[in-house]
Amino acid sequence: MKRHDVRWRRLLAALLTMPLLMLAASAYSAPKNLLVLGDSLSAEYGLTRGSGWVALLDKRLQQEKIGAGVTAVINASISGETTIGGKTRLPALLSKHAPDIVIIELGANDALRGLQLSATQANLQALIDMARAAKAKVVLVGMQIPPNYGADYTNKFSQLFPAAAKQNKTALVPFFLKDVADKPALFQADRMHPNEQAQQTLLDNVWPALKPLLK
């Protein structure tokens, strides 16, 4: 075989392979807007700005080159937010940011305010429906409350999240405060809000449910 024929064959092979490589690279490179709808646990309550788990998420995305620097993380969390408040705010957020993924971290304040479980359940469903109607994927963040609320209420509350995730086939973070809730040293002085040292663990709890949706 002549030398120039070999060169042409190699060039042709490279040209045929290039689209496949570009397709593989684009799996993570397409722009994705990620919206976090949460309460004080995600709003950096009592923390230095930029030290919360959502800010750490943004840094991790860049470090792992997921999104190749074009993934936008919008933190729409507000301290004291309930599922009712989230339901009221979400339509405007969806319209403004057109997120590809919505992380719903709400519900704890419902329990603190004594909201009926059926209302929280209905609100979570409404949030999921809104996000999906906007063509966004959903990550539902599971919450639990202390046993002093009564065993029946506590158990039923914790089951709201896996039940909603199963019914809607959404990604689920089983328990947002896993490996944090049982460690007093990871809380602020109010004993309710995780401190800066806990934020990496919170992100690690969310990451397994979120990462597959970034592809």
Report yes or no: 173 and 142 within 8 Å, Cβ to Cβ. Answer: yes
**In the chain, which ranges are continuous DSSP H helix?**
3-29, 53-63, 83-97, 108-112, 117-133, 151-168, 199-210
Tokens of 13: 């092979």
Residue 26 appears among annotated catalytic residues: no
Q: Which two tokens stand for residue 191?
A: 């004993």
Say whether 100 is catalytic. Answer: no
Sheet holding 33-38, edge to edge: 72-75, 33-38, 101-105, 137-141, 171-173
What tokens does 195 get? 């401190």
Catalytic residue (choose from 51, 79, 193, 204): 193
For the chain, what is the radius of gyration of the CA atoms?
21
Q: How many residues does the chain have?
A: 215
**From 39, 40, 100, 158, the catalytic residue:** 40
Q: How far apart are the first and last CA of the chain?
A: 43
Closest to 33 measured CA to CA, from 121, 127, 99: 99
**Distance between CA atoms of residues 204 and 101, nearest Å:** 18
Residue 40 appears among annotated catalytic residues: yes
> Tokens for 115?
């909201």
Active site residues: 40, 190, 193
